[in-house]
Amino acid sequence: MSFVSPLFLWYFMPAVLVAVLVCPRSWRNGIIAVGSLIFYASGAGVFTLLLLACMVLNYLAGPALEPSEWDRARDARRRVLLLCVIGFNVGMLVVWKYAGFATEQIAWFAQAFGGDFPIVELALPIGISFYTFHHISYVVDIYRGERQALKNPVSFATYISMFPQLVAGPIVRYREIADQLPQHRSHRLDDIAAGFPRFALGLCKKTIIADSISPMVDACFSTPPGDMTFAVAWLGALGYTLQLFFDFSGYSDMAIGLGRMLGFRLPENFARPYSSVTITEFWRRWHMSLSRWFRDYVYIPLGGNRDGAAKTYRNLCIVFVLTGFWHGADWTFLVWGMFHGALLIIERAFGWSAAPKARGAMIARRALTFVLVVFGWVFFKSADLTRALNMIGHMLLPDFDGLTDVVEAALTNQRLVLLLIALVVVFLPAHPVTGPLLESSRSKPATGLRIAVMTVGLVYASILVATGTFSPFLYYQF
């Protein structure tokens, strides 16, 4: 079940919201937990059992991981238990997500020496990358004493399986939501009034812009290497840069809006990332919940930037290798992660991570950062490294061959207009960020935007959904 399917929009979401509003307050977590498992099972099927097994183990481990000032002898046992639980969570992710990739590499190596090795083919459980990180956040935050373990299994199930963020984030660290889980939280109609426009904004981003330019992007990236041109390469790279942003930030807006309607404040995930003037700033604005997760649970435990430049660069390399592979089991994702990690190291080494003061320098750095990000997305989108390098090669070598017939047919007037509108939106000033402005501001511009989204935008998006012109969210595959 997708957020942009008629089943979700016209039946599931209204049913859950009505149930939460009319039933006793003490039922709310239960309604959300049951509804979330139904939501997950509708798309994941038998993999729901894997999610439940991981939930049971992490829930049972929680109380044993709590620190005690009266029993210091427990510390060694707690550390061993923490490592075992993290090992279990990471192991599940590695087996289901990376076993196929690993056996493919072994089989290739074996074949080079005349041998043979079986390739494991496993279906990827939906959302496993996200709920694995939620489980790790839960046990680590308890171990550190930042929050107590949840005694109520329904509250725990609500945190892990909450359908707004279960499949594609935002990644909610346990300490960010622990205080919102008790049953005594209030749920008011103004939460729905604030959350629904945010949800509608995300729906518009996804259906009106991201899905509309998707066929053109696919046509560019599926162009045979021999037919690739400068124009096709840049059109595809820019198109995917916009498609990915409006698709994923649209999902995040919908998730945050849904969470608000259910009475939860989920963390922000995007803050106009393409307005960044450095790659360092880009990672403070793009997929912020993932960046914060890696900072808190990988980068800082490794030592962060405390032990000199060499170890700082090492830690950045580790984080971005993991960031790349977290997105997918393919060399293209690894190269994308290493590309961004290298850019961050270069900025830090030469003192370029701070934004320049002069306006002209700011504009130039913003343009450079945007172009570098666009090049990175070519690796992210391409089917393999050969195609990615071929496309980048054509982006660097201008020619006058124009568009291929297939791409030209895919680039309709409507898609061209939407592409230009998306570019204009992306190049607006860095502030304010549209989502939070729409949700909380009472200014005249925010009110006007809410009216536009809730009337013209929502009506048009609903028509597109009703006609079936929507596609799965891009981050569902991760």
Identify whether the C-beta of residue 467 lies closer than 8 Å to the C-beta of residue 459.
Answer: no
327, 340, 394, 431: which one is catalytic?
A: 327
Which candidate, 432, 456, 457, places its Cα nearest to that of 443?
432
CB 282 within 8 A of CB 369: yes
What count of other Cβ atoms lies within 10 Å of the Cβ of residue 378? Answer: 24
The C-alpha atoms of residue 311 and residue 348 are separated, in whole angstroms, by: 13
Is residue 327 among the annotated active site residues?
yes
Contacts of 424 (CB under 8 A, 6+ apart): none
The SS3 assignment for 478 reads coil
Cβ neighbours for 50, distance < 8 A, ≥ 6 positions apart = 92, 96, 125, 128
Nearest to 436 by CA among 416, 418, 450: 450
- Shortest CA distance to 378 belongs to which of 248, 252, 251, 217? 217
Give the whole-angstrom CA distance, residue 468 versus residue 460. 13
Q: Which amino acid is at 374?
A: V
Query: How far is Cα 388 from Cα 67, in angstroms, rounded to an integer?
Result: 49
What is the rounded distance in angstroms from the CA atom of residue 257 to the CA atom of residue 271?
Answer: 16
Nearest to 457 by CA among 203, 193, 247: 203
Catalytic residues: 327
